Amino acid sequence: MSTETDILNLKKIRSDFPILNREINGKPLVYFDNGATAQKPQQVIDVITKYYQLENANIHRGIHTLSQEATDAYEKARVTVQHFINAGHEHEVIFTSGTTHSINLVANSFAKKHLKSGDEIIISTMEHHSNIVPWQMVCEEYGATLIVVPINDKGEFLFDEYEKLLSDKTKLVAVTHVSNTLGTINPVKAIIEKAKEFNAFTLIDGAQAVPHKKVDVQELDCDFYAFSAHKMFGPTGVGILYGKEAVLNNLPPYQGGGDMIKTVTFEKTTYNELPHKFEAGTPNIVGGIAIAAAIDYMNTVGIDNITAYEAELLNYATQQIKTIDGVRIIGEAENKASVLSFLVDGTHPTDIGMILDKLGIAIRTGHHCTEPLMNRFGIPGTARASFAFYNTKEEIDVFIEALKKAINMLV
Ligand code: 7TS
């Protein structure tokens, strides 16, 4: 694999990801399913292994050395996350099990406190199911209405339409920062600013943004920002909910249990302070610590370098795929992250995906947990190549050749 790029030292980077040396079906792995989950560098794997070999203990409860060390490492990781997203305080960083958990936490606590019959929650057409279904559930429970902002044929958020949908009934606007299916980067800062004119709260689903671009929650001025570690080179089963201190303090806890309490009697329980109020039970301790290792790794590569290099990859892949007859790209926003969804005339995405797999290339096919978006385009699903900074133009060449082969076999 060539390592030519002006921006990144790809030879070094690729050597950090052991899985990239694997062969699949006798061919070198080309991993283009980063939107589903990203691969892990050795630096992250080492932190996890070392923790279980030498450091394992429960946190926030022991006076013994191991427990104190684990607590320190976990709380240090929280500070690393704080700096990564530029949160004002470390206690505004809540550890969860992932984006889905983060959004469900907000939906449940927020609805209990703020939602009543006749209220409205605004989302967009391009949301992942995890930023649709939790809101549907609370809307149904509290008699509120879910309102959906339309998109254009390029897959862009229609801001004018959004402005028309906002009203005094709007209690919350929940929008994805980057679409997992289309790659569209939404104008979330402007979306948040507009929501504030109507005193609506804002939640940004950052699952597909943090692996690709700098995120500054204070600059965005959102109330909530949710993301998963596993899409940003960390482990599965851990994620983050950022929330503004004043907003979080005003919400009831989501789950009850250990760590989230101050005192418990059978008559009355008082709740702990942030962030522990929202962290009931023994968390994914090593997961939290490993998020920090993933962030350290991304910082070493450089977030702006990642963004710039992935833009090159996306441009190259887009140019190359457009040379193939019968290919239709789904998602052609002006402002896009490194996601390439497509359809090929006369073929089914699943067949394309299966043939590519035989050739060592991992892509995702289907509705990508965005069924309403597929309905908007009148299609059952797409084939999706999603790139990370360890991918190369040579891998894109391999993918394009394999795609041509697949089309020849299927059409
Ligand atoms: N939001 C977006 C925008 C996502 O892309 C995903 C996962 C989620 C939320 C849920 O994240 P989780 O970590 O809680 O599961 N997206 C995808 C995908 O595109 N392919 O597989 C999972």
3-class SS at 263?
strand
Domain boundaries, the chain: 10-31+302-410, 46-299
Q: Report the distance separating Cα 81 and Cα 62, nearest Å.
A: 24
Q: What is the pLDDT of residues 15-56, one digit of tens each?
A: 999 999 999 999 999 999 999 999 999 999 999 999 999 999
> ∠ CA 132-177-74 to the nearest 5 degrees?
90
3-class SS at 228?
strand
Residue type, 174: A
Residues designated catalytic: 369
Pocket of ligand 1 (CB under 6 A): 35-36, 98-100, 128, 130-131, 176, 180, 205, 207-208, 228, 364, 368-369
pLDDT of residue 6: 78
Atom 21 in ligand 1: residue holding the nearest Cα: 36
Surface-to-core class of residue 53, CB atoms within 10 Å of its CB (0-12 exposed, 13-18 middle, 19+ buried): exposed
Tell me: domain 46-299, CATH 3.40.640.10, correct? yes
Please check the confidence at residue 232 and state whether its pLDDT lies above 90.
Answer: yes
Q: What is the pLDDT of residues 360-388, one digit of tens each?
A: 999 999 999 999 999 999 999 999 999 99
Compute the chain's Rg from CA coordinates.
Answer: 22
pLDDT band, residue 396 (cuts 50/70/90): very high
Cβ 44 vs Cβ 290: under 8 Å? yes
If we measure between CA atoms, which residue out of 331, 328, 348, 347 comes closest to residue 339? 331
This prediction's pTM: 0.98
If we measure between CA atoms, which residue out of 171, 169, 108 comes closest to residue 141? 108
Q: What is the pLDDT of residues 283-311, one digit of tens each?
A: 999 999 999 999 999 999 999 999 999 99
3-class SS at 16?
coil
Domain 10-31+302-410 is of which CATH architecture?
A: Alpha-Beta Complex (3.90)
From 228, 330, 367, the mutation candidate for ligand 1 (largest count of ligand atoms within 8 A of CB) is: 228
